[in-house]
Structure 1
């Protein structure tokens, strides 16, 4: 059924007056009469009883008014939702993020995006960076907040955040009172780190610096959770290397010390999407991220 004809019928059914209905529709009375006649012919029913003095609905007209009004509202809503989805105002967006992102870029981006686009359902999955790369390729996530652990021309990326590393040590540690730590100071220390697949980025960052300093550090524990690592550090079982934003997590018995600037690599956080993903919600999130973090692009 033609939406225009249904709209004209509903307006006339509400007004029961051709002149007033035509004025509401901003068409001529003759055009309205033609539309109603066309609708009645299509449906093969009489919708109105017309006399010189009055217009009234038939039983068929009353039935169509009740059901047609509901249908028209649903159609209008569906069209509006489709337009809003095309503009990125409604829908869903699945985001993968490295745990470190929760300490820097993730809270700002998700809260601001949710404020601007409340109709978009954000679905968040914590993943190591390598898992995000595979999930992006497979289409399981649309956005990745991850470390630069890949070289793939299929992705569009932007650098959002860069920060130096700090050393997490026990409050009773011999180095707890110093202002900055040199890598040589860590020569006899045991390192607590994440499991190997997750630790590759940090290892790759520090390897040339340890080599230059002539230090071979020994890994004494491998765990995955940040709080677990910090708990082991607090217990004096070793030291840990983290990007500076870890300092937002304060745990009794743990202190953070910066490395000397010339011996600290920089930890980078990227945003990535598939190059062929041009959906509105994905593009709007990318645009928001670049707008909030323009200085490190």
Structure 2
């Protein structure tokens, strides 16, 4: 197995052998994950999983030993990757930070200029985008730090998270709008009203859409 396949194998076990859940978590198709298992077992002539009624049920003895090796190898690989990343940043003096434009203007307009002035040897590269796109860039290693809106759906085993701001969602409207008379809006109150929000690259869009669909 290469390192990517080791990740596949570990995720299958951590998802309690649910291929559908594991495939969704690691962003590949379920048939591709099934094919990976089949190819490995056939090529190596070793069975990784016990099966019950055609479904993966548990690890075989060989599967359990391979799983323990996989955990160690993946851990060492991640430590090596982090070391390479940090050393590269030290040599280049570059930190890539991604954050939504609105958050940059509201919360960090003074922070980053002062940070650069106080740390002249560090080069900051600011990437502005919506939370969804920034999340993808973080996973793909295109940025080092992402300022995201919850829920981030990031694996806490691989990413360290710090809460820097707790806020609320507010609706703005014309003072003559009937809803303006209400002290607090409920989601069903919005039915029938045209709504403007951020585009689909922003997490706010998805949060609002999900709430409206739910109600």
TM-score in terms of structure 2 length: 0.47
Over alpha carbons, which structure has the higher Rg? Answer: 1
TM-score by length of 1: 0.35
Larger relative contact order (C-alpha < 8 A, sep ≥ 6)?
Answer: 1
